[in-house]
Every structure is written in C-alpha cells, then in structure tokens.
Chain A
Amino acid sequence: MQVTSPQFKKHTRAALANPHLQQALGNVRAGFIDKRKKAVDALPEFDQLRDSARDIKNHMLDHLDLYLEAYEAKVRASGGYVHWAETAEEARAIILDICRSAGARTVTKGKSMITEEIELNDFLQKNGIRPVETDLGEYIIQLRGEHPSHIIAPAVHLTKDQVEADFRRVHDHLPPTRDLTEHESLLYEARRVLRPAYFDADVGITGANFLVAETGTSIIVTNEGNGDLTQILPKVHVVVASIEKIVPTLEDAAQIMRVLARSATGQEMSVYTTMSTGPRRPGDPDGPEDYHVVLIDNGRSAMLGTEFQDMLRCIRCGACMNHCPVYHSVGGHAYGSVYPGPMGAVLTPSLAGLAKSGHLPNASTFCGRCESVCPMRIPLPKMMRHWREREFERGLNPATQRTGLKLWAMFARRPALYRFATSVAVPLLSMFGRRTGRFRHLPLAGGWTRYRDFPAPEGRTFMQQLSERDAVTMQGAK
C-alpha cells in the first residue's frame, strides 16, 4: 500500500488553502451527520444492535481460522473458486491470472476499498487490461487519476463544477453545447457512458461487505446498482475481500446490516443488498459462468491478539470520518492513505507501518466523536493513543516533541513538584496576560500559537480551585 502520509503536514496546509475542497467539505459537515442522527433516532433498538454487531464480530475474530475454512468449503460446494493471498502482490497476481484465463480486455469494477488498498487498477492497466470503475464517485476520480478521499463517498472532495469540467474533458465525443449544469445531467451522462462498458466487460470485480460462512455467500451493499450490473453481465465474477469480512450466518449479517447503512448514509437499508452464491446454476437465464473469491490477509492476521484486534470489526461505514473535526477541515487526501479519518489513523499504521504513518494517529483532538458514533463500538481514540505510545517507544517522533513529552512526564509523575510548578507558573501567566486575557505568542509553543491564541489563566490552578471547592462542599455536607 503506497502512502504519502509522511507529507501530512504539507498536505493539510494545501487542503486548508484549497477553496474547492473547503466548499465540498461543507457537504460532509451538513449532510452525513443529520442523516445518521435521524436514522438512529428512528430505531429504538439501535444501541442494542450495536452491541449485537460488536459481539458477532468479536466471536468471529476469535474463531476466524475455523470460519474461513467453513466458508471456503461452502463456496467450493456451490461451484465457486477460493484463492488465498497473503500480500497485495499475491492478490494482484491471482486476479490478473483470472482475467487472462478469461481473455479479458475490459474489466468492470464495483466500488471496493480493498482493490484500492492493493492498487489493482494501475496493475491491470500496466498489464494491458482496462479497468472501468462504475460507481459514480469512483468513476469520477478514475477520470481524474485520483484516489478516493472518503471510503463510501470517493468524490466527496469535489464540487459539481469540477465534475462538469472533467466530463467535458473526457467525454469529448458528446456535443460541447450540451447542458451539464445540474446534478441530474451529470449523473445521466455517466449512466449513458457506462452502460456499454458492462456489456463489453469480460470480468466483473466487486468487493464484499460480508462473506457468510454458513452458505458461502458474498454480500455487497450499494445504492446505484452498478455492483449488480458488474457481477451479472460479464462471464466471470471476481469477489475481492479481506479475511475479516466473514460473518458466521445470514442472521449475523442481518444484524450488522441494520447498523451499516444507518451509520453510513443515514438510510435504513441501502437500495441494493445482493447476496451471491457461486456461479450461474443449471437453467439460470443469466449470471456469471465462473465465480471466484480472492481472500486477502495483507497484514490483518498480525493484528489479531494485539491491542489493535478490535479494528478488525470495522465495517467501513465512514461514520468516524463523517463526524471527525480533523477530517472536516482537511478532507481525506491529506491523510495520504486510502483509509482516511479516524479508522485510517488506526488501520494505516497496521498495514503500512508506523514509520510511514506516524502523523495519522496524532491527527486527532481526541474529542471522541468517532468512537461515540462507531456502529461496531471500536475504541478509536484509545487505539490512536496506543500508536502514539509505540511511536514514542520507538523514537519515531521528532526530538523537540520527545523532550517536551519527557519534561511533562517528569512533572506529571511527581504530583508535589507539578503542583508547585503550576502554582508558580499560573499566577505569572495570569499577570502577564491580564491586559488582553490571551497570549498571541508563547516561547517554545510557536507552532501552536501561530493559528490560535492561548487563553491566559485566571489566577488559580485547577488543583487549587478543586480543593477550595471540596472544602466548600464538605462544609455544606456538615
């Protein structure tokens, strides 16, 4: 997985100065949060379902090896093929092999984050196969040569006018005078342009939201119907999925589905939930002749049994980034990983290494909104904290930061010293800052005060105020 996360700070500066991006990010702030809240409020059992969903995935992860074996046996029994890939490279080679055996020149794709993770499109292209993304958002970013900036809304960083400009540039066979000013006209143009691709494609590649061990079924959840046309029209359907997508039974999938769409888009159900089991059956008038599943590990098995195991419950709904003030400010591309936002800040270091992605777990105010909305109750802030600890242990953060942390730790571990130091510092700061009530510059904190003022303390430390308050309460109690 290619990451450009080391340039996170540079990316954020560019993102904050980009007016198109800032305009587009307004849609995230305005749309997703209200829609999710409405859907959640309309279902009294929502929190119980979150517990149920968490417990199902925890049980599955504790027995992952056995459920994978059971799943594989059922896929084989229904006439499908199962391939296993330890790494992204192995997965790409397997998929290319399948495409070559099918004599594929064109491949249609449903939206799939795992194929972004393994950088499948570039690889197929280099090997003479044309991948066509069919999800509207994915199609738009493919035209622009970009990566998705959001795991469920890949083109959320763009405005309508930018999409119009791209369509005019790429669809140059269409009359230049056509009207593309409305959202509708852009969607219908994409629909018209993409329709023939489904029929031309020799192989259709989709991801999977769930793999059901009980039946050997893969499930995708979409709104557009592109994932379905991708898998029913070509001769070959390839499902690409990471190993933690397994759920034991159909009932288990149903539990998690109830929290998935509500958390993602605020829908009660996505429009199309499609369950696929094996290839076309004897007598079936349509459907693929071959059905392949490529199971990918790519770092997941190493997360089991560690403090990051809970991250493997993630169902990729995007609620954490939809509610993240950092994501709202800088958008997904700044993170430099296909997985942005809080879930990416935890997952990217696991998959790409902490050395390349140390900025990401630090890109959080620990406000806790991500955890409070996560349908799988993943303790995202806690896990970001674990990464920060590891970063410190391995000496990966800059020297000034380390010195500052060590200095703070020295005081924090010695309460008497800490109280003494603050009882001296706070009145001093209070005196110097009395006139304006804030500091525009502070020594050694220039990076912080460059963007905001530091409020001047009001005269007493927290501990002093607390003990006074306690004294008053005690008197009241007597």
Chain B
Amino acid sequence: MSARDAILGKIRRSLGADASDPARRAAVTSRLELAPLGVIPARGQLPQAERVALFCTMAKKLLASVERVSGYDAVPETVAGYLRNNNLPAAVRMGADERLSSMPWVEQRALEISRGPSDGDDAVGVSHAGSGVAETGTLVLTSGGDNPTTINFLPDHHIVVVSAADIEGDLESALAKIRERYGKGEMPRTVNLISGPSRSGDIEQKLILGAHGPRALHIIVVDEPGVS
C-alpha cells in the first residue's frame, strides 16, 4: 500500500468515516465551491476616502513610509525625491508592469532604470501592488511575467506604488480580486502580502528593521482624478 493510501485509510478509520459517504463529500464540495466569508472586522468597512486614510495610518504604524500623490504622472519625480532624501544612488530596478512603464520616467533624466528580476545588487526596487488592505496597512503583490518576486525582497529599499482605488477594506476583498482575475481556484505562482519592512526580534525580543528583506518600505498611494 502506498503511504498516501495508508495515511488516508488511517484518517478514515480514526474518524470512523466512509470515503464515499455522500453527505461528507457534499459538505466538502460546497465549502470549496462557496468559500463562505467568516467574521470581517468592522475596522476597514469605511467609505473609500476614509478607507484610504486608514490604510495610510496602518501602514505607518507598521513602520512603512507613505506618500500620497495625485495621478500616475507624479510617480517618477516622487521616486526620484525619495532617493535624494535618503542619499541613495539615482538607480532603481523594476519589472515590466505596464502601469509602471507607462509613467513618464524619461522626465527623470538622471535616474537609471534596470528592468527584470533582481540579482541582489540593487539598492532600490519599485513594484506595483495589485491592491492594499486598509484593515492592516498590507500590500498585495502578485507574481507574473511583468512582476518579479525578487524585487520585493532583495533590494534594501522597496518602493511600492498602489492606486487609491485598489485599496480594499479587508483581506477577503483583496483575495476576491485575485480570484476574479485568475479564476476560481486558481492563483499566480506567488502572492506576497507585505505589512511593513523586514524585521526580527530574535535577539532578546528587541525589534530591528532590515533582517533579510528590505530595510525600508516606501508606499506611494496614487489618487487618480475621476477614478474611485
């Protein structure tokens, strides 16, 4: 007997259950199909403007820095400003995400832009989040051809752009958006829920930022006029 059959057999014997019991099968099929919502905290259930404000407050509590800009066209100069303010070299790495590439980077002549996955030598990475979660100040990033996962972890500074219109009240709504985009039961290879910069409290419970991932997380929330 294979280990698989042995384990499943032991489980059924311990539970006194029958694999072909239609009631058990139906319970499982329906839960997988319906994916019922559980308890959703009231905290994030707010009108859009307050929701975005809550997202910014919660992200700052997680020790991320947050800037709000009006329109995607303002992002490149905001990125350049962040680099200057933190005495960083004028160079960033980013994926080929269309929302990022359609921004007016050419206006930042001094800024050097590398595309594709990070090899660990980049000081700063720029990503675009699929959504934000107001409840906890969490960013939701999905992997794909245009969104290398390495950029989320290897650079010392991670700058993440998110549209204010994509900020959801709760985690379940952000997960529902992924399901909508990829199909029921399907997922991209990696979904990164990021809540602040990397940290460790492993030595004497003292919290230090920058353990293995980025030491700093900078979030640019883009308000698009006319979009909500």
Which residues of chain A have C-beta atoms less than 8 A from B145's C-beta? 281, 283-285
Contact with B along A25-64 (1 / 0, CB 8 A): 0011011100000000001110011001000100100111
Looking at B1-9, B78-86, B98-106, the stretch in contact with chain A turns out to be: B1-9
B194 CB to closest chain A CB (Å) equals 6
Q: Say whether B204 contacts A27, CB under 8 Å.
A: yes
| B138 interfacial by beta-carbon distance below 8 Å | yes
| B199 and A271 within 8 A (CB) | yes
> Could you tell me if B213 and A269 are in contact, using CB atoms closer than 8 angstroms?
no
Q: How far is the CB of A162 from the nearest CB of chain B, in Å? A: 10
Cross-chain contact B136 with A254 (CB below 8 angstroms): no
Q: State whether the Cβ of A249 lies closer than 8 Å to any Cβ in chain B.
A: yes
Give the Cβ gap from B55 to chain A, nearest Cβ, in Å.
13
Q: Is the CB of A226 within 8 A of B8?
A: no
Smallest CB–CB gap between B27 and chain A, Å? 6
On chain A, the residues within 8 Å of B181 by CB distance are none
- Judging by beta carbons under 8 Å apart, are A258 and B41 in contact? yes
A115-148 contacts to B, CB under 8 A, are 134-137, 140
Task: List the B side residues contacting A306 at CB < 8 Å.
Answer: 14
For the complex, what is the distance from the CA of A86 to the CA of B150, rounded to whole Å? 35
Q: A269 and B208 in contact (CB under 8 A), knowing A163-B203, A304-B11?
A: no
The verdict on A228 contacting B192 (CB below 8 Å), with A194-B212, A257-B171, A284-B144 known, is yes
Contacting residue for A184 out of B14, B31, B138, B208, CB 8 A: B208
Measured as residues with beta carbon below 8 angstroms from the partner, the interface class of chain B is 35 or more
B190 touching A225 by the CB < 8 A rule?
Answer: no
Please name the residue on chain B nearest to A303 by beta carbon: B14
Residues 170-212 (chain B) with a chain A CB within 8 angstroms: 171-172, 175, 179, 185-206, 208, 210-212
**Within the complex, what minimum Cβ distance (angstroms) separates B111 from chain A?**
21
Contact A214 B10 (CB under 8 A): no
Answer whether A280 and B189 are a contact pair too, CB < 8 Å, given A194-B212, A249-B35, A251-B35.
yes
Tell me whether A62 and B15 are in contact in the complex, defined as CB-CB below 8 angstroms, given that A43-B41, A187-B210, A269-B138 are known contacts. Answer: yes
Inter-subunit contact A84/B7 (CB<8 Å)? yes
Interface assignment of A337: CB less than 8 Å from any CB of chain B = no
Determine if A214 and B35 form an interchain contact, defined as CB atoms under 8 angstroms apart.
Answer: yes
A280, closest chain B residue (CB): B189
Task: Check: A297 CB closer than 8 A to any chain B CB.
Answer: yes
Chain A contacts for B25, CB-based, 8 A:
66
Query: Which residue on A lies nearest to B115, using beta carbons?
Result: A285
| A251→B147 CA distance, assembly (Å) | 25
Q: Which of B16-24, B46-54, B66-74, B123-131 contacts A (4 or more CB under 8 A)?
A: B16-24
Residue B214, interface by CB 8 Å: yes
What is the distance, in angstroms, from B91's C-beta to the closest C-beta of chain A? 19
Task: Report the nearest B residue to A217, measured CB to CB.
Answer: B187
Say yes or no: is B42 at the interface (Cβ < 8 Å to chain A): yes
Asked if B171 and A153 make an inter-chain contact with CB atoms under 8 angstroms apart, the answer reads no
Cβ contact of B189, chosen from A67, A154, A194, A277, cutoff 8 A: A277
Q: Are B14 and A135 touching (Cβ within 8 A)? A: no
Q: Give B142-159 interface residues, CB cut-off 8 Å to A.
A: 143-145, 148-150, 152-154
| Contact between A223 and B211, CB atoms less than 8 A apart | yes
A265 to chain B minimum Cβ distance, whole angstroms, is 7
- Name the residue of chain B whose CB is nearest to the CB of A79: B189
Given the interface pairs A63-B24, A154-B202, A283-B144, the reply to whether A224 lies near B211 with Cβ below 8 Å is: yes
The chain A residue sitting closest to B135, CB to CB, is A268
Asked if A398 lies at the interface with its beta carbon under 8 angstroms from chain B, I say no
Tell me which of B11, B12, B42 has the highest count of chain A C-beta atoms within 10 A of its own C-beta.
Answer: B11
Q: With an 8 A cutoff between CB atoms, is B32 at the interface?
A: yes
Q: How large is the interface on A (under 10, 10 to 19, 20 to 34, 35 or more residues)?
A: 35 or more
Do A135 and B202 have beta carbons less than 8 Å apart? yes
**What are the interface flags for A253-264 relative to B under an 8 Å C-beta threshold, 1 for contact and 0 otherwise?**
011011000000
User: Which residues does chain A contribute within 8 Å of B202, judged by CB atoms?
Assistant: 135-137, 140, 153-156
Residues from chain B with a CB closer than 8 A to the CB of A22 are none
A275 touches B187 (CB 8 A): yes
Contact of B28 among A31, A217, A248 (CB under 8 A): A248
Proximity bits, A145-173, B CB within 8 Å = 1, else 0: 00000000111101110010000000000
Contacts of A275 in B (CB 8 A): 187, 190-193
Q: Which of A28, A43, A254 contacts B38 (CB under 8 A)?
A: A254
**Most chain B beta carbons < 10 A, residue from A74, A251, A304:** A251
Pair A233/B150 contact, Cβ less than 8 Å: yes
A249 close to B195 (CB less than 8 A): no
Contact A251–B175 (Cβ < 8 Å): yes
Residues of A near B213 (CB, < 8 A) are 224-226, 228-229, 271-272
In the complex, whether A68 has a CB less than 8 A from a CB of chain B is yes
Interchain CB contact under 8 A, B211 and A187: yes
Q: Which residue of B15, B39, B58, B189 is within 8 Å of A281 (Cβ)? A: B189
A85 at the interface (CB under 8 A from B): yes
- Other 7 A-B pairs with CB < 8 A, given A269-B193, A281-B189: A44-B42, A64-B11, A183-B204, A214-B32, A250-B35, A272-B198, A283-B145
**Which 8 A/B pairs are nearest by Cβ-Cβ distance?**
A225-B213, A224-B211, A137-B202, A304-B14, A283-B145, A273-B193, A301-B10, A275-B191
Taking beta carbons and an 8 Å cutoff, which residues of B are in contact with A? 2-4, 6-8, 10-12, 14-17, 19, 24-25, 27-28, 31-32, 35-39, 41-43, 58, 62, 95, 116-117, 120, 135-136, 138, 143-145, 148-150, 152-154, 171-172, 175, 179, 185-206, 208, 210-214
Q: 14 interchain pairs (CB within 8 A)?
A: A43-B43, A49-B41, A90-B3, A137-B202, A153-B201, A191-B211, A223-B198, A225-B211, A254-B175, A271-B198, A272-B198, A273-B138, A304-B11, A306-B14
